[in-house]
Amino acid sequence: NAGVTQTPKFRVLKTGQSMTLLCAQDMNHEYMYWYRQDPGMGLRLIHYSVGEGTTAKGEVPDGYNVSRLKKQNFLLGLESAAPSQTSVYFCASSYPDGLETQYFGPGTRLLVL
């Protein structure tokens, strides 16, 4: 099992450019999440999904969109990148087994100039 994987690992964007971050999991998990981590802070939830075809907003959703067309994939899109979106992005997945444990990907470092 690869667990949770994220692509790309690092990306530099110019203000106004768009990009998509891909998260994939091979654990057959129902729930998937996107977080951002800023320096000196914990992770904050951007969007999440409780199943294929469903998405919901988290704590800091503005400027991001997501899609869950396949159970194993969760895409995070930035339509018009801003310097404030410079951050490390983490994807996570979990199974609704009552244990609520989330498994994290390795992170994507995004720099917006």
Partner 1 sequence: AQTVTQSQPEMSVQEAETVTLSCTYDTSESDYYLFWYKQPPSRQMILVIRQEAYKQQNATENRFSVNFQKAAKSFSLKISDSQLGDAAMYFCAYAGNTGKLIFGQGTTLQVKP
Residues interacting with partner 1, by CB under 8 A?
31, 33, 40-45, 48, 58, 88, 90, 92, 94, 96, 99-104, 106-107
Closer CB to partner 1, residue 14 or residue 42?
Answer: 42
Task: Give min distance, CB of 16 to partner 1, in A.
Answer: 27
Smallest CA-to-CA distance from 79 within 90, 89, 66 is with 66
Half-sphere exposure (Cβ direction) of 42: Cα atoms closer than 13 Å: 3
**Going edge to edge, which strands form the sheet with 73-78?**
4-7, 19-25, 73-78, 65-67
Q: Which is nearer to partner 1, 11 or 17 (CB)?
A: 11
Measured from the CB atom, the residue of 31 and 64 that comes closer to partner 1 is 31
**Shortest CB 103 distance to partner 1, Å:** 8
Residue closer to partner 1, measured from CB, 85 or 94: 94
Dihedral, 44, 51, 23, 111 alpha carbons, nearest 10: -30
Q: Which residue has the tokens 């009552």?
A: 98
